[in-house]
Amino acid sequence: MITEVGLESDFNDVQDGGCSKPCGELFPGCNHPCPFKCHGRDHDDMDCNHPCEKLLSCGKH
């Protein structure tokens, strides 16, 4: 998909470097869907902001 940018105000729609659609790819390790708009960063370099529901070996979240 190509997003055309012709006016300064158009950059508001591509703040993360991609289109305005939600990413939705899964974060590695936790498998939560990415809530951010389309972006050019790898999910390995991003933090998931979903509450963690995984239990550690000690029994805590």
Could you tell me the pLDDT band of residue 17, with boundaries at 50, 70 and 90?
low
Cβ atoms of residues 14 and 5 within 8 Å: yes
* Cβ neighbours for 12, distance < 8 A, ≥ 6 positions apart: none
Work out the number of other CB atoms within 10 angstroms of the CB of residue 43: 16
Q: Give the start-to-end residue ranges of the domains of the chain.
A: 1-61
**Residue 13 confidence (pLDDT) above 60:** yes
Q: Torsions phi, psi of 25, nearest 5?
A: -65, 155
Confidence of residue 54 (pLDDT cuts 50, 70, 90): confident
Instruction: Give the model confidence (pLDDT) of 26-52 as tens digits.
Output: 999 888 999 888 787 899 999 888 887
Q: What are phi and psi of 17, to 5 degrees?
A: 90, 5
pLDDT of residue 50: 86
- Its pTM surpasses 0.85: no
